Amino acid sequence: MLGGFGRNCNVSQANLPDDGTGGGGPVGNLTPNIVDAEYQFTSVLDGTLTLFWIVNSETEIISFGLRANSPGFIAFGISQDGRMVGSDVILGWVNDATQEVVVNDYYISAQTGGCGGGNGVCKDVDVGGTNDVLEFNGNQNGDVTELKWTRKLRTTDLKDREYASGDLKCVWSYGSTDSDVIKHTQRASIDINLLTGAVSTDNTQKMKTVAHGLLMFFAWGFLNPIGSIVGRFLKRFKWWFNVHRLLQSFAMLMVLIGFILAVDFNTVHLDTFHKIFGLMIVILGLAQPVIGTIADKWFDPERKGTPIFPDKTHWIIGWGTFLAAIVNIAFGISVYKDNFNTSDATGLLIAYIVYGCLTAVLILIYGIYAYVTNKGGH
């Protein structure tokens, strides 16, 4: 799976240190220009970036060429799941002022924090590995940048991905200037077998992400508030409790499935606000059926007041998790937009923010009304 990695990682040339190992000028006998016929395989990654490579089976050396219709940095790497974090990346640029070529071996440790001045872009030598770039060169002609490098198919670095292990999930990125902050650019799904040249499209991760978002939206955005309204206003009907319990249970089932999908398509957990906040919401949400059942079993028609636990606790957690989920879904859409650069994501985010604001206003109006009239429904 291919993807862009990082502008929200705050990475720039200025904070990608060059200590002389694999950077600063041509190394070895590589010529600066990419000659297409020199390579065995070619893959157009996104229309802007083209990857060339050839494998020497006797020496187990793989030679790459990377051409971008962009005058800044370019990068290519191998990922465990097609995401930025955990990627084994080769990144380089041609210095605009000196025309020096810089190519180096990096490991993406996190979206924030870690190496590289806090952006998570670590040189392999800083995380217990070695610089596996054997030789490199490159050139820049107008708005076209070309980089060439060689490396072994197999290394002993713990952070490196295996280049000779069949279909590989790949990531790439490029910028408009050498010091341009790296951004999630075009992102697609593709597997490349570097040994055979086979390229196949795989939208599994994107489909799981969309399914996760839809499940969470329908659970928290529709079923949960409808179930809460039934429990709040329709207690005069004998069927209210069964309907309330059915709607909320189905909502929590959808939340649980959505949570499992999120765990499945993420190899790095709790590294963003959306993930941490989401985990808290899921834990509290799954506790609600238990607290509600206790409230039902402990109900005493002769009681003179509503107890804090379990009744009021159930109400507070119910409405609190609903509002928190509405907010967190907006963060989730933003993450989806950054990860997949989907053209509809901006409009979707705007529409959802409008929906969330209207929901918040209606709840606020209801809360004021219930407080003033003392007609809360309980």
d(C-alpha 273, C-alpha 112), whole Å = 12
More confident residue, 15 or 217: 217
d(C-alpha 54, C-alpha 76), whole Å = 15
Beta strand 49-56 with 199-201 is unpaired
Q: pLDDT of 86-104, one tens digit each? A: 889 998 999 888 889 999 9
313-340 helix and 273-297 helix, angle to the nearest 10 degrees = 150
Is the pLDDT confidence value at 66 over 80? yes
Is the pLDDT confidence value at 23 over 50? no
- pLDDT value at position 86? 81
More confident residue, 84 or 128: 128
Per-residue burial over 11-26, b if 16 or more Cβ lie within 10 Å, else e, is bbbeebeeeeebbbeb
Is the pLDDT confidence value at 202 over 70? no
Q: What is the mean pLDDT of residues 23-29?
A: 56
- pLDDT value at position 145? 93
- pLDDT value at position 116? 54
- In single-letter form, the type of residue at position 299 comes to F
Q: What is the mean pLDDT of residues 282-287?
A: 94
Is the Cα torsion angle 179, 185, 189, 190 positive or negative in sign? negative
More confident residue, 259 or 173: 259
Mean pLDDT of the chain: 80
- pLDDT value at position 216? 94
Is the pLDDT confidence value at 18 over 60? no
Q: Is pTM, for the whole model, over 0.75? A: no
Give the domains, in start order, of the chain with CATH numbers: 7-202 (2.60.40), 205-373 (1.20.120.1770)
Tally of CA atoms within 13 A in the half-sphere of 262 that contains its CB: 24
Q: pLDDT of 104-134, one tens digit each? A: 998 887 655 556 555 567 888 888 888 999 9
- pLDDT value at position 2? 37
- pLDDT value at position 337? 72
Asked which of 9-13, 62-66, 163-167, 282-286 is least confident by mean pLDDT, the reply is 9-13
- pLDDT value at position 10? 26
- pLDDT value at position 27? 60
**In which band, very low, low, confident or very high, does the pLDDT at 5 lie, cut at 50, 70 and 90?**
very low
Is the pLDDT confidence value at 12 over 50? no
More confident residue, 253 or 14: 253
Q: What is the mean pLDDT of residues 248-269?
A: 87
Q: pLDDT of 163-190, one tens digit each? A: 887 788 888 888 776 654 344 344 445 7
